[in-house]
Amino acid sequence: MRSHDEVDRIVDAWSRERADLDFAPLQILSRVGRLSKHLDRARREAFGASDLESWEFDVLSALRRAGTPYQLSPKQLLQQTLVSSGTMTNRIDRLVERGLVQRRTDPNDGRGIIVTMTTRGRESVDSAISELLQHERELLGALSPAEQDRLATLLRKLSLDFEQ
């Protein structure tokens, strides 16, 4: 016997009420939306354990992925985090206040700025990513490694279609 989730119940009810419509997209995208809420909760927990907000994690993880010396220009941070320049300026200011990054003059361009992650910032983001991966493994626990690979492939295909 097949087990039913809340999306099955929703689709069944809609199908009963609007038999003229094809509810196949809800079978996938409603589940993606519901899983997204679980992921948001897991991220809040993971980042909270490291005393970070999700936007702080976004900026710090961009710097961490850049590798030693963990620095990027504000423009590079904008490209990776997809926020406006005003928002990024505000975020950098707040991270400087918390001692997680430093703002320095670009040695290659005296008019430019370089944002460098501090040791405290690196420790925070390293702790947060470890915690996040643990939570995400738990979220995916019902799937075998092969199923996870297949799902990643399908989601990548869908994602690439949007990015083009």
**Is residue 4 in a domain?**
no
**Is residue 32 in a domain?**
no
Q: What pTM value is reported for the model?
A: 0.81
**Is residue 97 in a domain?**
yes
**pLDDT tens, residue by residue, 9-40:** 999 999 999 999 999 999 999 999 999 999 99
Q: Cα dist. 2→5, 8, 60, 114 in Å?
A: 10, 11, 43, 55
Q: The domain spanning residue 115 has which CATH number?
A: 1.10.10.10
**Is residue 145 in a domain?**
yes
Q: Are 95 and 53 in contact (CB under 8 A)?
A: no
**pLDDT tens, residue by residue, 71-98:** 999 999 999 988 998 999 999 999 999 9
Total structural domains within the chain: 1
**Is residue 46 in a domain?**
no
**Is residue 36 in a domain?**
no
> For residue 130, what are the domain limits?
52-163
**Is residue 15 in a domain?**
no
